[in-house]
A and B are shown apart, each in its own frame.
Chain A
């Protein structure tokens, strides 16, 4: 399977027999060849590795992490795009997991696994506080396996290295798109707690990313 960008906002996926591509419902622009589409919902089918059925069910139902999907299979080319948002292709080599919000996922190869995890599983209470502060909700989506994932952003996104020579990166919660690798995300308030409570979006709340990996940020504070 091949995934490439036609332009910064349109994704082209080449599908062959025996392969599937899962994409957000309503994002298919056009296709060529013999391709069929079946509705699908995230969290179903593949199961939720590491989580009990109850947690999985709660995850699917809560906080908008439940996104309607379409599975395309057959042989041909499918073109995807959504609401003029920018598309970024992220290749996964299987060694680490990509964490991203479900509504930012445009398309992914059929054999990568997605699971919905509570934010509390990555950073305890602070993770939950982060979800509440940034409006991301209490659940997020993890993508694992080997394959390619296409992620949506507003204003185009770019990767920043975390760890190694670069050290820590601090990211605006609204500009945060997702991260890959072994990264700890901490909510930090650099201007003092009063500003966090008082004036909402400023430089008051920040996400401190430490560890080893890559974080994607978008050039906009717009949430979609």
Chain B
């Protein structure tokens, strides 16, 4: 594990002594009080993720200035994020100008596939950061340095395949989408509730395989709604493009609502 990834202390205090993020107050002043005999307690009251949250807010501000809608796509490894994005880019472009940041521990395989769309693609390999299991806000900041934000409407971030950690890290995105494929089992939303709570839409992928599986698609949808009632669930096949109309329309509407805000 590289310490480098987390040495972001320089961000802690640079904008004053008090930050307000996500409705919490973080008081940075120290208050020394007596605790039990022999020790004294120093109040801290800081989120451990403060450094990330501050960076994410900076990213969000930059994306707002540049009028870029940012989508964070998360799922298990192998659920079909890259294939879905390859097909989605073909339907979105050239009407919507897109760029992609894709995170993997190793290889540039995904970037090579996505670049065929003609969209600018930045591959992040987190092995340089200790093989990290998620993309943090400062990694996104570094990655978008390689993209001309003035020329795009939509930045898609394909996160590291993982249903646990990426849910905890704000990267400055507008919307979060989680993908579940029918080969993974209907109960994944119940096993990874934070991920499904934190996302604003869900994709149920590989529905072309349903005839060959014991997966109950309704149960998968019900489980998503048990953890996050009312979120839109798009049942799709990245292979056949079944169900893409509703998904692409949802995304286009989201992009348009930011661009015309």
Decide if A and B are genuine partners.
Answer: no
Taking Cβ atoms with an 8 Å cutoff, the residues of B that contact A are none
